[in-house]
Chain A
Amino acid sequence: MINKQNGEEFDIEIDKTVGKPFIDDAKFSTRNVEVFYGDKQAIFDASIDIGKNQITAMIGPSGCGKSTLLRCLNRMNDTIQDCRISGAIKLDGEDIYQKHQDPVLLRARVGMVFQKPNPFPKSIYDNVAYGAKLHGLASNKIELDALVEKSLIRAGLFKEVKDLLHKPGTGLSGGQQQRLCIARTIAIDPEVILMDEPTSALDPIATAVIEELMISLSKKYTIVIVTHSMQQAARVSQRTAYFHMGHLVEVNKTNTVFTNPEHQLTENYITGRFG
Protein backbone atom coordinates (compact mmCIF):
# COMPACT_ATOMS: atom_id res chain seq x y z
CA MET A 1 0.00 0.00 0.00
CA ILE A 2 1.02 3.59 -0.47
CA ASN A 3 1.72 5.95 2.39
CA LYS A 4 2.45 9.63 2.49
CA GLN A 5 5.07 11.34 4.51
CA ASN A 6 5.99 14.99 4.06
CA GLY A 7 4.09 14.90 0.81
CA GLU A 8 6.27 12.08 -0.47
CA GLU A 9 4.81 8.70 -1.20
CA PHE A 10 6.53 5.61 0.10
CA ASP A 11 5.70 1.95 0.22
CA ILE A 12 5.03 0.11 3.42
CA GLU A 13 3.54 -3.30 3.10
CA ILE A 14 0.60 -4.47 5.14
CA ASP A 15 0.34 -8.01 3.87
CA LYS A 16 -1.02 -9.71 6.87
CA THR A 17 -1.39 -8.80 10.48
CA VAL A 18 1.92 -9.20 12.32
CA GLY A 19 2.44 -10.17 15.94
CA LYS A 20 0.11 -12.65 17.61
CA PRO A 21 -3.45 -12.00 16.46
CA PHE A 22 -4.58 -15.46 17.54
CA ILE A 23 -4.69 -16.90 21.05
CA ASP A 24 -6.03 -19.97 22.78
CA ASP A 25 -8.59 -18.54 25.18
CA ALA A 26 -10.62 -16.41 22.77
CA LYS A 27 -14.00 -14.94 23.65
CA PHE A 28 -14.43 -13.38 20.25
CA SER A 29 -12.74 -14.33 16.99
CA THR A 30 -13.06 -12.38 13.78
CA ARG A 31 -11.85 -13.95 10.56
CA ASN A 32 -11.29 -12.12 7.29
CA VAL A 33 -13.76 -9.41 8.22
CA GLU A 34 -14.32 -6.72 5.62
CA VAL A 35 -16.65 -3.79 6.14
CA PHE A 36 -18.00 -1.42 3.50
CA TYR A 37 -20.00 1.76 3.82
CA GLY A 38 -21.57 1.86 0.39
CA ASP A 39 -18.62 1.66 -2.02
CA LYS A 40 -16.12 2.70 0.58
CA GLN A 41 -14.21 -0.08 2.27
CA ALA A 42 -13.55 0.71 5.95
CA ILE A 43 -12.06 -2.62 7.12
CA PHE A 44 -9.79 -4.93 5.11
CA ASP A 45 -9.40 -8.58 6.03
CA ALA A 46 -9.37 -8.25 9.82
CA SER A 47 -8.66 -11.45 11.73
CA ILE A 48 -8.14 -11.19 15.46
CA ASP A 49 -8.94 -13.05 18.67
CA ILE A 50 -10.23 -11.18 21.70
CA GLY A 51 -9.03 -12.80 24.93
CA LYS A 52 -11.52 -13.83 27.57
CA ASN A 53 -11.55 -11.76 30.77
CA GLN A 54 -8.92 -9.42 29.56
CA ILE A 55 -8.79 -5.96 28.10
CA THR A 56 -8.00 -5.62 24.43
CA ALA A 57 -7.22 -2.12 23.20
CA MET A 58 -7.74 -0.95 19.63
CA ILE A 59 -5.57 1.99 18.67
CA GLY A 60 -4.74 3.90 15.51
CA PRO A 61 -5.18 7.27 13.82
CA SER A 62 -8.71 8.60 13.59
CA GLY A 63 -10.68 7.17 10.71
CA CYS A 64 -8.63 3.95 10.62
CA GLY A 65 -11.66 1.79 11.36
CA LYS A 66 -11.43 1.05 15.10
CA SER A 67 -15.03 1.98 15.87
CA THR A 68 -16.23 0.20 12.76
CA LEU A 69 -14.71 -3.12 13.83
CA LEU A 70 -15.84 -2.60 17.43
CA ARG A 71 -19.41 -2.05 16.28
CA CYS A 72 -19.27 -5.29 14.31
CA LEU A 73 -18.85 -7.18 17.58
CA ASN A 74 -22.38 -6.45 18.76
CA ARG A 75 -23.91 -5.82 15.34
CA MET A 76 -24.39 -2.13 15.96
CA ASN A 77 -23.49 -1.69 12.30
CA ASP A 78 -26.78 -3.40 11.38
CA THR A 79 -28.47 -0.12 12.13
CA ILE A 80 -26.34 1.79 9.60
CA GLN A 81 -27.77 1.84 6.10
CA ASP A 82 -25.42 0.79 3.30
CA CYS A 83 -23.11 -0.96 5.74
CA ARG A 84 -22.06 -4.40 4.51
CA ILE A 85 -19.98 -6.91 6.41
CA SER A 86 -18.32 -10.09 5.20
CA GLY A 87 -16.20 -12.70 6.96
CA ALA A 88 -16.93 -14.45 10.21
CA ILE A 89 -17.30 -13.16 13.75
CA LYS A 90 -17.65 -15.78 16.45
CA LEU A 91 -18.61 -15.29 20.07
CA ASP A 92 -17.75 -18.39 22.11
CA GLY A 93 -17.35 -20.21 18.81
CA GLU A 94 -20.76 -19.25 17.41
CA ASP A 95 -21.16 -16.99 14.42
CA ILE A 96 -23.12 -13.95 15.55
CA TYR A 97 -24.16 -13.04 12.00
CA GLN A 98 -26.05 -16.29 11.41
CA LYS A 99 -29.69 -15.86 10.42
CA HIS A 100 -31.08 -17.30 13.63
CA GLN A 101 -29.07 -14.94 15.86
CA ASP A 102 -31.10 -12.19 17.52
CA PRO A 103 -29.18 -8.89 17.58
CA VAL A 104 -31.13 -7.68 20.61
CA LEU A 105 -30.13 -10.69 22.66
CA LEU A 106 -26.59 -10.35 21.35
CA ARG A 107 -26.42 -6.76 22.57
CA ALA A 108 -27.45 -7.93 26.02
CA ARG A 109 -24.47 -10.29 26.02
CA VAL A 110 -22.20 -7.69 24.45
CA GLY A 111 -22.84 -4.32 26.03
CA MET A 112 -21.48 -1.01 24.87
CA VAL A 113 -20.29 2.22 26.48
CA PHE A 114 -19.88 5.28 24.29
CA GLN A 115 -17.58 8.27 24.11
CA LYS A 116 -20.06 10.83 25.42
CA PRO A 117 -21.78 9.71 28.62
CA ASN A 118 -25.41 9.37 27.56
CA PRO A 119 -27.62 8.70 30.57
CA PHE A 120 -31.37 8.66 29.89
CA PRO A 121 -33.22 11.73 31.14
CA LYS A 122 -34.43 9.70 34.10
CA SER A 123 -33.39 9.10 37.69
CA ILE A 124 -30.13 7.39 38.52
CA TYR A 125 -32.12 4.39 39.72
CA ASP A 126 -34.16 4.14 36.53
CA ASN A 127 -31.09 4.48 34.35
CA VAL A 128 -29.68 1.32 35.87
CA ALA A 129 -33.00 -0.50 36.24
CA TYR A 130 -34.26 0.21 32.73
CA GLY A 131 -32.42 -2.45 30.74
CA ALA A 132 -32.69 -5.01 33.52
CA LYS A 133 -36.48 -4.60 33.54
CA LEU A 134 -36.58 -4.81 29.77
CA HIS A 135 -34.72 -8.10 29.80
CA GLY A 136 -36.76 -9.42 32.72
CA LEU A 137 -33.76 -9.81 35.00
CA ALA A 138 -35.69 -8.95 38.17
CA SER A 139 -39.07 -10.33 39.14
CA ASN A 140 -39.92 -7.87 41.89
CA LYS A 141 -38.95 -4.55 43.44
CA ILE A 142 -36.64 -6.11 46.02
CA GLU A 143 -34.68 -7.98 43.38
CA LEU A 144 -34.52 -4.89 41.24
CA ASP A 145 -33.29 -2.76 44.14
CA ALA A 146 -30.58 -5.32 44.82
CA LEU A 147 -29.58 -5.45 41.17
CA VAL A 148 -29.37 -1.66 40.91
CA GLU A 149 -27.25 -1.49 44.05
CA LYS A 150 -24.95 -4.31 42.93
CA SER A 151 -24.46 -2.70 39.52
CA LEU A 152 -23.71 0.70 41.02
CA ILE A 153 -21.23 -0.90 43.42
CA ARG A 154 -19.49 -2.74 40.59
CA ALA A 155 -19.32 0.49 38.63
CA GLY A 156 -17.69 2.17 41.63
CA LEU A 157 -20.48 4.73 41.89
CA PHE A 158 -22.71 3.53 44.70
CA LYS A 159 -21.03 5.41 47.56
CA GLU A 160 -21.31 8.69 45.70
CA VAL A 161 -24.97 8.36 44.69
CA LYS A 162 -26.64 6.19 47.32
CA ASP A 163 -28.59 9.17 48.67
CA LEU A 164 -29.40 10.56 45.23
CA LEU A 165 -30.86 7.48 43.58
CA HIS A 166 -34.01 9.32 42.57
CA LYS A 167 -32.26 12.42 41.29
CA PRO A 168 -31.74 12.72 37.53
CA GLY A 169 -28.67 10.96 36.14
CA THR A 170 -27.91 13.99 34.01
CA GLY A 171 -27.11 15.98 37.15
CA LEU A 172 -23.95 13.98 37.81
CA SER A 173 -20.43 15.01 36.77
CA GLY A 174 -19.09 13.69 33.46
CA GLY A 175 -17.05 10.95 35.09
CA GLN A 176 -19.98 9.91 37.29
CA GLN A 177 -22.29 9.86 34.28
CA GLN A 178 -19.89 7.58 32.47
CA ARG A 179 -19.79 5.24 35.46
CA LEU A 180 -23.58 5.36 35.51
CA CYS A 181 -23.58 4.22 31.89
CA ILE A 182 -21.21 1.43 32.85
CA ALA A 183 -23.55 0.45 35.72
CA ARG A 184 -26.44 0.44 33.25
CA THR A 185 -24.47 -1.88 30.96
CA ILE A 186 -23.43 -4.18 33.80
CA ALA A 187 -27.02 -4.43 35.11
CA ILE A 188 -27.97 -6.47 32.05
CA ASP A 189 -25.28 -8.98 33.04
CA PRO A 190 -23.28 -8.95 29.82
CA GLU A 191 -20.26 -11.14 29.06
CA VAL A 192 -18.43 -8.54 27.01
CA ILE A 193 -18.25 -4.77 27.36
CA LEU A 194 -17.26 -2.69 24.35
CA MET A 195 -16.04 0.82 25.06
CA ASP A 196 -15.57 3.41 22.36
CA GLU A 197 -13.25 6.16 23.66
CA PRO A 198 -15.00 6.04 27.03
CA THR A 199 -12.84 8.70 28.69
CA SER A 200 -12.20 11.17 25.90
CA ALA A 201 -14.72 13.60 27.36
CA LEU A 202 -13.35 13.28 30.90
CA ASP A 203 -10.68 15.03 32.93
CA PRO A 204 -7.54 13.10 34.04
CA ILE A 205 -8.87 12.21 37.50
CA ALA A 206 -12.21 10.93 36.22
CA THR A 207 -10.24 9.08 33.53
CA ALA A 208 -8.05 7.39 36.13
CA VAL A 209 -11.16 6.30 38.06
CA ILE A 210 -12.69 4.74 34.93
CA GLU A 211 -9.41 3.03 34.07
CA GLU A 212 -9.23 1.50 37.55
CA LEU A 213 -12.81 0.39 37.10
CA MET A 214 -12.06 -1.22 33.73
CA ILE A 215 -9.22 -3.19 35.25
CA SER A 216 -11.37 -4.49 38.10
CA LEU A 217 -14.26 -5.28 35.72
CA SER A 218 -11.97 -7.28 33.46
CA LYS A 219 -11.84 -10.03 36.08
CA LYS A 220 -15.49 -10.75 35.33
CA TYR A 221 -16.00 -9.36 31.84
CA THR A 222 -14.21 -9.40 28.54
CA ILE A 223 -13.47 -5.80 27.60
CA VAL A 224 -12.61 -4.24 24.27
CA ILE A 225 -11.69 -0.59 24.31
CA VAL A 226 -11.17 1.81 21.43
CA THR A 227 -8.98 4.65 22.53
CA HIS A 228 -7.07 7.46 20.89
CA SER A 229 -4.86 7.62 23.96
CA MET A 230 -1.90 5.30 23.54
CA GLN A 231 -0.99 5.79 27.18
CA GLN A 232 -4.43 4.58 28.14
CA ALA A 233 -4.05 1.48 25.98
CA ALA A 234 -0.66 0.90 27.58
CA ARG A 235 -2.02 1.40 31.09
CA VAL A 236 -5.10 -0.78 31.00
CA SER A 237 -4.88 -3.43 28.31
CA GLN A 238 -3.24 -6.83 28.11
CA ARG A 239 -3.36 -6.91 24.31
CA THR A 240 -3.22 -4.14 21.78
CA ALA A 241 -4.36 -4.05 18.16
CA TYR A 242 -3.03 -1.34 15.86
CA PHE A 243 -5.12 -0.25 12.87
CA HIS A 244 -3.98 1.80 9.91
CA MET A 245 -6.29 2.92 7.11
CA GLY A 246 -8.65 0.01 7.59
CA HIS A 247 -5.91 -2.58 7.97
CA LEU A 248 -5.22 -4.49 11.14
CA VAL A 249 -1.46 -3.99 11.12
CA GLU A 250 -0.32 -5.58 14.34
CA VAL A 251 -1.74 -7.37 17.37
CA ASN A 252 0.29 -8.48 20.34
CA LYS A 253 0.71 -8.32 24.06
CA THR A 254 0.56 -4.68 25.08
CA ASN A 255 3.98 -4.94 26.69
CA THR A 256 5.46 -6.07 23.40
CA VAL A 257 3.65 -3.52 21.25
CA PHE A 258 4.82 -0.62 23.40
CA THR A 259 8.41 -1.70 23.87
CA ASN A 260 9.21 -3.58 20.70
CA PRO A 261 6.59 -3.41 17.96
CA GLU A 262 7.18 -5.48 14.88
CA HIS A 263 5.71 -3.26 12.19
CA GLN A 264 7.22 0.06 11.15
CA LEU A 265 3.76 1.65 11.01
CA THR A 266 3.05 0.64 14.60
CA GLU A 267 6.42 2.02 15.68
CA ASN A 268 5.74 5.29 13.87
CA TYR A 269 2.34 5.70 15.46
CA ILE A 270 3.21 4.89 19.04
CA THR A 271 6.37 6.96 19.00
CA GLY A 272 4.48 9.89 17.46
CA ARG A 273 6.22 9.89 14.10
CA PHE A 274 4.91 10.69 10.64
CA GLY A 275 3.60 7.73 8.72
Chain B
Amino acid sequence: MMEIQHISRQYNQELEGVKNKVLKMGGLVESQVEKAISALIEQNNELAKEVAESDDKINKIEVEIDKKCAQLIAKRQPAAGDLRLIIAVIKVITDLERIGDEAEKIGRYTQKLTSIQDDTNMYAELFRLGEQVIAMLRDALDAFARMDVEQATKVAQTDRQIDQEFDRVSRILVTYMMENPRHIKTMLKVIWCARALERIGDHSQNICEYVVYFVNGQDIRHTGLE
Protein backbone atom coordinates (compact mmCIF):
# COMPACT_ATOMS: atom_id res chain seq x y z
CA MET B 1 0.00 0.00 0.00
CA MET B 2 2.78 2.38 0.93
CA GLU B 3 5.15 1.88 -1.96
CA ILE B 4 3.14 4.21 -4.19
CA GLN B 5 4.49 7.68 -3.53
CA HIS B 6 2.61 10.88 -2.79
CA ILE B 7 2.60 13.64 -5.34
CA SER B 8 4.08 15.77 -2.57
CA ARG B 9 7.60 14.55 -1.82
CA GLN B 10 7.64 16.57 1.35
CA TYR B 11 4.60 14.61 2.58
CA ASN B 12 6.35 11.30 1.84
CA GLN B 13 9.33 12.44 3.84
CA GLU B 14 7.20 13.58 6.75
CA LEU B 15 5.38 10.25 6.97
CA GLU B 16 8.63 8.30 6.64
CA GLY B 17 10.17 10.50 9.31
CA VAL B 18 7.39 9.76 11.77
CA LYS B 19 7.60 6.05 11.11
CA ASN B 20 11.37 6.03 11.60
CA LYS B 21 11.02 7.89 14.88
CA VAL B 22 8.58 5.25 16.13
CA LEU B 23 11.05 2.53 15.21
CA LYS B 24 13.76 4.40 17.06
CA MET B 25 11.52 4.73 20.10
CA GLY B 26 10.71 1.02 19.85
CA GLY B 27 14.42 0.23 19.87
CA LEU B 28 14.97 2.32 22.98
CA VAL B 29 12.05 0.71 24.78
CA GLU B 30 13.16 -2.77 23.83
CA SER B 31 16.63 -2.15 25.21
CA GLN B 32 15.17 -0.71 28.44
CA VAL B 33 13.05 -3.85 28.91
CA GLU B 34 16.02 -6.12 28.21
CA LYS B 35 18.12 -4.30 30.75
CA ALA B 36 15.33 -4.27 33.32
CA ILE B 37 14.90 -8.02 33.03
CA SER B 38 18.66 -8.67 33.29
CA ALA B 39 18.94 -6.36 36.26
CA LEU B 40 16.09 -8.13 38.02
CA ILE B 41 17.17 -11.68 37.38
CA GLU B 42 20.87 -11.05 38.00
CA GLN B 43 20.11 -8.63 40.84
CA ASN B 44 22.37 -6.06 39.25
CA ASN B 45 21.97 -2.80 41.16
CA GLU B 46 24.06 -0.75 38.73
CA LEU B 47 21.97 -1.78 35.71
CA ALA B 48 18.73 -1.33 37.66
CA LYS B 49 19.73 2.22 38.45
CA GLU B 50 20.50 2.91 34.80
CA VAL B 51 17.07 1.63 33.76
CA ALA B 52 15.27 3.60 36.45
CA GLU B 53 16.97 6.77 35.35
CA SER B 54 16.73 6.64 31.55
CA ASP B 55 12.97 6.58 31.05
CA ASP B 56 13.18 10.30 30.30
CA LYS B 57 14.56 9.75 26.82
CA ILE B 58 11.54 7.63 25.92
CA ASN B 59 9.09 10.19 27.23
CA LYS B 60 10.79 12.92 25.22
CA ILE B 61 10.63 11.00 21.99
CA GLU B 62 6.95 10.23 22.59
CA VAL B 63 6.16 13.92 22.95
CA GLU B 64 8.15 14.65 19.82
CA ILE B 65 6.25 12.07 17.75
CA ASP B 66 2.91 13.29 19.09
CA LYS B 67 3.77 16.78 17.97
CA LYS B 68 4.83 15.61 14.51
CA CYS B 69 1.56 13.69 14.14
CA ALA B 70 -0.50 16.72 15.14
CA GLN B 71 1.37 18.82 12.57
CA LEU B 72 0.81 16.21 9.88
CA ILE B 73 -2.91 16.08 10.58
CA ALA B 74 -3.20 19.86 10.55
CA LYS B 75 -1.16 20.38 7.40
CA ARG B 76 -2.02 17.35 5.28
CA GLN B 77 -5.44 16.15 6.39
CA PRO B 78 -4.38 12.54 5.89
CA ALA B 79 -7.01 10.11 4.64
CA ALA B 80 -7.42 6.35 4.30
CA GLY B 81 -4.15 4.43 4.77
CA ASP B 82 -2.22 7.58 5.72
CA LEU B 83 -4.84 8.44 8.34
CA ARG B 84 -4.79 4.92 9.74
CA LEU B 85 -0.99 5.03 9.88
CA ILE B 86 -1.04 8.23 11.93
CA ILE B 87 -3.72 6.86 14.26
CA ALA B 88 -1.78 3.61 14.64
CA VAL B 89 1.40 5.59 15.37
CA ILE B 90 -0.27 7.72 18.03
CA LYS B 91 -1.59 4.60 19.70
CA VAL B 92 1.60 2.58 19.38
CA ILE B 93 3.69 5.25 21.03
CA THR B 94 1.27 5.43 23.96
CA ASP B 95 1.78 1.71 24.54
CA LEU B 96 5.54 2.05 24.05
CA GLU B 97 5.65 4.80 26.62
CA ARG B 98 3.74 2.63 29.09
CA ILE B 99 6.14 -0.24 28.43
CA GLY B 100 8.93 2.18 29.26
CA ASP B 101 7.16 2.98 32.54
CA GLU B 102 6.90 -0.72 33.39
CA ALA B 103 10.62 -1.18 32.72
CA GLU B 104 11.37 1.81 34.92
CA LYS B 105 9.20 0.30 37.66
CA ILE B 106 11.15 -2.97 37.47
CA GLY B 107 14.37 -0.94 37.72
CA ARG B 108 13.19 0.82 40.85
CA TYR B 109 11.98 -2.34 42.60
CA THR B 110 15.18 -4.12 41.64
CA GLN B 111 17.27 -1.39 43.27
CA LYS B 112 15.40 -2.06 46.52
CA LEU B 113 15.57 -5.82 46.10
CA THR B 114 19.35 -5.89 45.65
CA SER B 115 19.81 -4.59 49.18
CA ILE B 116 17.88 -7.52 50.62
CA GLN B 117 19.63 -10.77 51.39
CA ASP B 118 17.84 -13.68 49.75
CA ASP B 119 18.46 -17.41 49.95
CA THR B 120 15.69 -18.66 47.66
CA ASN B 121 16.09 -19.30 43.99
CA MET B 122 13.10 -17.20 43.06
CA TYR B 123 14.77 -14.82 40.57
CA ALA B 124 15.58 -17.76 38.36
CA GLU B 125 11.85 -18.52 38.28
CA LEU B 126 11.35 -15.22 36.40
CA PHE B 127 13.74 -16.22 33.64
CA ARG B 128 11.16 -17.79 31.33
CA LEU B 129 8.62 -14.98 31.79
CA GLY B 130 11.35 -12.47 30.93
CA GLU B 131 12.33 -14.39 27.81
CA GLN B 132 8.74 -14.63 26.61
CA VAL B 133 8.03 -10.96 27.20
CA ILE B 134 11.11 -9.68 25.45
CA ALA B 135 10.48 -12.01 22.50
CA MET B 136 6.88 -10.84 22.20
CA LEU B 137 7.83 -7.18 22.33
CA ARG B 138 10.56 -7.68 19.74
CA ASP B 139 8.22 -9.55 17.39
CA ALA B 140 5.47 -6.97 17.84
CA LEU B 141 7.86 -4.16 16.92
CA ASP B 142 9.09 -6.18 13.99
CA ALA B 143 5.50 -6.71 12.77
CA PHE B 144 4.95 -2.95 13.07
CA ALA B 145 8.14 -2.10 11.20
CA ARG B 146 7.10 -4.32 8.30
CA MET B 147 3.33 -3.79 8.75
CA ASP B 148 2.98 -7.54 8.65
CA VAL B 149 -0.58 -8.56 9.57
CA GLU B 150 0.14 -12.26 9.59
CA GLN B 151 2.97 -11.89 12.06
CA ALA B 152 1.02 -9.37 14.15
CA THR B 153 -1.87 -11.81 14.44
CA LYS B 154 0.44 -14.61 15.49
CA VAL B 155 2.36 -12.49 17.99
CA ALA B 156 -0.83 -11.11 19.57
CA GLN B 157 -1.83 -14.64 20.46
CA THR B 158 1.34 -15.31 22.45
CA ASP B 159 0.01 -13.02 25.17
CA ARG B 160 -1.98 -15.99 26.45
CA GLN B 161 1.22 -17.92 27.16
CA ILE B 162 2.59 -14.94 29.05
CA ASP B 163 -0.54 -14.76 31.18
CA GLN B 164 -0.15 -18.46 31.97
CA GLU B 165 3.50 -18.05 32.86
CA PHE B 166 2.65 -15.10 35.08
CA ASP B 167 0.09 -17.25 36.92
CA ARG B 168 2.67 -19.96 37.39
CA VAL B 169 5.25 -17.51 38.75
CA SER B 170 2.69 -15.93 41.08
CA ARG B 171 1.80 -19.29 42.54
CA ILE B 172 5.43 -20.05 43.26
CA LEU B 173 5.99 -16.66 44.90
CA VAL B 174 2.90 -17.10 47.05
CA THR B 175 4.21 -20.48 48.15
CA TYR B 176 7.49 -18.83 49.21
CA MET B 177 5.48 -16.28 51.18
CA MET B 178 3.52 -18.93 53.00
CA GLU B 179 6.66 -20.87 53.81
CA ASN B 180 8.29 -17.87 55.40
CA PRO B 181 6.16 -14.84 56.28
CA ARG B 182 9.32 -12.76 56.80
CA HIS B 183 9.70 -12.84 53.03
CA ILE B 184 6.32 -11.28 52.31
CA LYS B 185 7.55 -7.73 51.77
CA THR B 186 10.28 -8.91 49.41
CA MET B 187 7.99 -11.29 47.58
CA LEU B 188 5.43 -8.58 47.01
CA LYS B 189 8.09 -6.48 45.26
CA VAL B 190 8.99 -9.45 43.08
CA ILE B 191 5.34 -10.05 42.27
CA TRP B 192 5.05 -6.40 41.21
CA CYS B 193 7.96 -6.95 38.85
CA ALA B 194 6.34 -10.06 37.38
CA ARG B 195 3.12 -8.12 37.03
CA ALA B 196 5.01 -5.34 35.17
CA LEU B 197 6.34 -7.98 32.77
CA GLU B 198 2.85 -9.35 32.23
CA ARG B 199 1.62 -5.81 31.45
CA ILE B 200 4.37 -5.41 28.85
CA GLY B 201 2.83 -8.45 27.15
CA ASP B 202 -0.56 -6.71 27.10
CA HIS B 203 0.93 -3.56 25.57
CA SER B 204 2.75 -5.64 22.95
CA GLN B 205 -0.55 -7.25 22.05
CA ASN B 206 -2.06 -3.77 21.56
CA ILE B 207 0.76 -2.88 19.18
CA CYS B 208 -0.06 -5.96 17.12
CA GLU B 209 -3.71 -4.97 16.99
CA TYR B 210 -2.82 -1.52 15.64
CA VAL B 211 -0.84 -3.17 12.86
CA VAL B 212 -3.95 -5.11 11.85
CA TYR B 213 -6.00 -1.91 12.05
CA PHE B 214 -3.58 -0.02 9.88
CA VAL B 215 -3.33 -2.65 7.19
CA ASN B 216 -6.89 -3.96 7.09
CA GLY B 217 -8.76 -0.96 8.45
CA GLN B 218 -10.38 -3.36 10.88
CA ASP B 219 -10.56 -2.81 14.61
CA ILE B 220 -9.97 -6.14 16.33
CA ARG B 221 -9.45 -4.89 19.85
CA HIS B 222 -12.68 -6.11 21.32
CA THR B 223 -13.69 -8.71 18.79
CA GLY B 224 -10.59 -10.87 19.10
CA LEU B 225 -8.41 -12.38 16.45
CA GLU B 226 -9.62 -15.17 14.33
Binary flags per residue of B58-80, CB closer than 8 Å to A gives 1, else 0: 00000000000000000011111
Does A245 interact with chain B (Cβ within 8 Å)?
no
Contacting residues of chain B (74-126) with chain A, CB-CB under 8 angstroms? 76-84
Q: Which residues of chain A are near B81, meaning CB under 8 Å?
A: 267, 271
Inter-chain contact B79/A259, CB cutoff 8 Å: yes
Q: How large is the interface on B (under 10, 10 to 19, 20 to 34, 35 or more residues)?
A: 10 to 19
Inter-chain contact A270/B6, CB cutoff 8 Å: no
B8 touches which of A266, A268, A272 (Cβ 8 Å): A272
With known contacts A231-B77, A260-B217, A267-B1, A272–B7 Cβ distance under 8 A: yes
With known contacts A231-B77, A259-B217, A273–B4 Cβ distance under 8 A: yes
Does B180 interact with chain A (Cβ within 8 Å)?
no
- Min CB distance A246 to B, Å, is 22
Does B11 interact with chain A (Cβ within 8 Å)?
yes
Residue of A231, A234, A261, A270 ringed by the most chain B CB atoms within 10 A: A270
Does A230 interact with chain B (Cβ within 8 Å)?
yes
Does B5 interact with chain A (Cβ within 8 Å)?
yes
B84 touches which of A260, A273, A275 (Cβ 8 Å): A260
Q: Which residues of chain B are near A261, meaning CB under 8 Å?
A: 80
Q: Give A10's nearest chain B residue, CB to CB.
A: B4
Inter-chain contact A274/B5, CB cutoff 8 Å: yes
Inter-chain contact B5/A271, CB cutoff 8 Å: no
- Min CB distance B32 to A, Å, is 34
User: In whole angstroms, what is the CA distance A274 to B5 when docked?
Assistant: 6
Contacting residues of chain A (226-275) with chain B, CB-CB under 8 angstroms? 230-231, 234, 258-261, 266-268, 270-275
Q: Which residues of chain B are near A273, meaning CB under 8 Å?
A: 4-7
Q: How large is the interface on A (under 10, 10 to 19, 20 to 34, 35 or more residues)?
A: 10 to 19
Inter-chain contact A271/B80, CB cutoff 8 Å: yes
Inter-chain contact A270/B7, CB cutoff 8 Å: no
Residue of B4, B76, B83 ringed by the most chain A CB atoms within 10 A: B4
User: In whole angstroms, what is the CA distance A9 to B110 when docked?
Assistant: 61
Q: Which residues of chain A are near B79, meaning CB under 8 Å?
A: 230, 234, 258-259, 270-271
Q: Give A256's nearest chain B residue, CB to CB.
A: B217
Q: Which residues of chain B are near A270, meaning CB under 8 Å?
A: 79-80
User: In whole angstroms, what is the CA distance A273 to B11 when docked?
Assistant: 10
Inter-chain contact A267/B7, CB cutoff 8 Å: no
Binary flags per residue of B1-43, CB closer than 8 Å to A gives 1, else 0: 1001111100100000000000000000000000000000000
Does A5 interact with chain B (Cβ within 8 Å)?
yes
Inter-chain contact B80/A259, CB cutoff 8 Å: yes
Q: Give B218's nearest chain A residue, CB to CB.
A: A260
Given A272-B6, A272-B7, A272-B8, list of 12 further CB < 8 A pairs? A230-B79, A259-B79, A259-B217, A260-B80, A260-B217, A267-B1, A270-B80, A271-B78, A272-B11, A273-B6, A274-B7, A275-B4
Chain A residues with CB under 8 Å of chain B are 5, 230-231, 234, 258-261, 266-268, 270-275
Chain B residues with CB under 8 Å of chain A are 1, 4-8, 11, 76-84, 217
| 19 residue pairs from A and B, CB less than 8 Å apart | A230-B79, A258-B80, A258-B83, A259-B79, A260-B80, A268-B4, A270-B80, A271-B6, A271-B78, A271-B82, A272-B6, A272-B76, A273-B4, A273-B5, A273-B6, A273-B7, A274-B5, A274-B6, A274-B7
The 6 closest A-B pairs by CB, nearest first: A260-B217, A270-B79, A273-B4, A271-B82, A258-B79, A267-B80
